[in-house]
Structure 1
């Protein structure tokens, strides 16, 4: 299974590159550097908004960034993917969230636009204390009807009283957007993601590979959450982290150790010369 040619490697952030304490293990840092020095190209492939990626992640010097669950991609400083969610889908989802008092956020071209209840439930203040330079990337929604910048993706929490599940939201918004379980704080039961139909990390992986003239057989995807399913299925080799969801593990070619047990480093060391 070891790749012998220069390879494109697509790496999820939360639960894959970042461990459960939201730090990059030194083993992962070293293996990423070694892989790049060997001629392989490494890409962040995250559900996060482009402007919501932690500075320590960017400082690793990745060759490109896929963000917003595949709706945006940057390569050599150029935006090569910039998908927009239809305004009708944004309106329908917003109306549903308001009607059910659900905290929600929209991933936009200028960062995250979130309700105050979403910000509080996420605990964003802890993150902004660690990385104060990111404060300009977060905007509080005070008027639910106010125009938004172009929307690439959405994130929401289900009601804390258990009155709705992610599956309920999926049924209600069918036809407007793709709804999947989210990966906030390693829990996928109380939060979900709103994706543009037909847009995911797998489609982004294909577009980046085509842009660089690299066959899919020479690609690797490594992730842990349901939003990683398509890229793990699309890549030449799909790797699920040991801490990944059962759905991701079921489609992977290889299962790496847990993220807290040097899982990413182990996968890169095994697959890349």
Structure 2
């Protein structure tokens, strides 16, 4: 069976690895993935989040492989504290994106290699501010709230990787996507109310391909799990692509296999079933 040859699991986080709400790893998934690594196999997290915002999960799963974050715009090796690959948005392009986004009155955040910035303590930043109060210093999310997001990034000489737009209105999210269509960008959704904006050509498959080319893993022995639009590329690229039962229709349509719901540990149960 092809599955017995799999050496690497690459998994999305929200809607895949994590339980509902995205605040904790689903218990069965955690148990199975820890055993997976104890057996000498590899585990890679591939997320739309900034890697610095998922440190509790990196530590909980004892991740040794590089992390793919910002939908493939960043690959970082935390063992050696080294950025292996990044695709940063130019300052001019970032300014254009922010100017366009602000016209629609939506909340937005910018992820750099160092932190998350936003004009107000709302959206995802609100959750991070709350979580930081209880997290140890090495797991707190670095945050900056400023009216001049672009100016702050330029002054610090940082590398902007992703702009996240948050809106509960589907029409507004689509309008933002349409307005950005002519710019050299990769625009996709990582969640029901989210629009993710990176450099053109950037997605999780880009990060996964980098790890393959750099010798960290072999795509021919890799199984990828995901649920949303931003997971489609890596599910197609891996030897085995698995969509969660709770996936959007587009992800379900391209997957080789369907796993159970993320809230019931569909990823972990899929691995257990295939080992039988």
TM normalised by structure 1 equals: 0.88
Contact 1:108 1:151 in 2 (8 A): yes
Aligned partner of 1:105 in structure 2 is: 109
Distance 1:29 1:236 in 2: 23
Q: Which moved more, 1:208-217 or 1:260-269?
A: 208-217
Secondary structure of the 1:156 match is strand
**How many Å apart are 1:121 and its aligned residue?**
7.9
Which residue of 175, 181, 198 maps to 1:174?
181
**How many Å apart are 1:136 and its aligned residue?**
5.1
1:88 aligns with 2:92: yes
**How many Å apart are 1:26 and its aligned residue?**
2.2
**Structure 2: which 5+ runs fail to align?**
none
Write the deviation string for residues 144-175 of structure 1: whole angstroms up to 9, x where unpaired.
Answer: 452412101110123x5x49432221221123
Aligned partner of 2:4 in structure 1 is: 4
- 1:3-82 equivalence runs, <5 A: 3-5=3-5, 7-21=7-21, 22-62=23-63, 63-75=65-77, 76-77=79-80, 78-82=82-86
Distance 1:11 1:25 in 2: 13
RMSD: 2.3
Secondary structure of the 2:18 match is coil
Distance 1:173 1:117 in 2: 25
How many residues matched?
266
**Structure 1: which 5+ runs fail to align?**
none
Distance 2:62 2:72 in 1: 20
Contact 1:241 1:255 in 2 (8 A): yes
Change (3 A) 1:243 1:57: farther
- Which portions of structure 1, spanning 4 or more consecutive aligned residues, are displaced by more than 3 angstroms? 117-126, 132-136, 270-273
Aligned partner of 1:270 in structure 2 is: 273
